[in-house]
A and B are shown apart, each in its own frame.
Chain A
Amino acid sequence: AQSVTQLDSHVSVSEGTPVLLRCNYSSSYSPSLFWYVQHPNKGLQLLLKYTSAATLVKGINGFEAEFKKSETSFHLTKPSAHMSDAAEYFCVVSDQSGGYNKLIFGAGTRLAVHP
């Protein structure tokens, strides 16, 4: 079965410093992986996705993630945090074993950005 583990429930950074949100996945086959962002009381927005093409995936708002098969990781990074990046971030893996396109969500990491 597919699963994802987000290693930090909360991350706090200062504005202008790098962001690292960690995610490990478990998959019995080559996975499709995603990062979503959710601002308070809003729906989820897709940041980026990996679907077995380039291992370094660039997304919106300066975020990127690197797929590392040897480490079963898909960490999300950004070189310089902005106040508007404060939100909850979800690492997601696609599970296609049930005959339909099912996404498995991690528990989420809440990112706080301080001035």
Chain B
Amino acid sequence: GAVVSQHPSRVICKSGTSVKIECRSLDFQATTMFWYRQFPKKSLMLMATSNEGSKATYEQGVEKDKFLINHASLTLSTLTVTSAHPEDSSFYICSASSLLNTEAFFGQGTRLTVV
């Protein structure tokens, strides 16, 4: 299957600062990327969908000013958690798909801890 690389795998940041998470498709062009949030022992909750070159579509209840998503190229999408608070601590996972695939490919995930 195709490879999606997510970086960093773990990050600790101070409350009030911003942190950027990158999601790269290494061997295919990802027309669409998805960002999920997962709490321990819980399911993946879709936060937003991003299409290359256009604004992201956020799910209901997700603050677009808090979670900035950029999908500037067909191989890279970024999620920036702005003015992070301890309640933003979570596991964030990206996935990517192309027009040629019926399945989405997942990154390794990022564990964010805000102290």
Partners in one complex: no
Interface residue ranges, B against A (CB under 8 Å):
none
Interface residue ranges, A against B (CB under 8 Å):
none
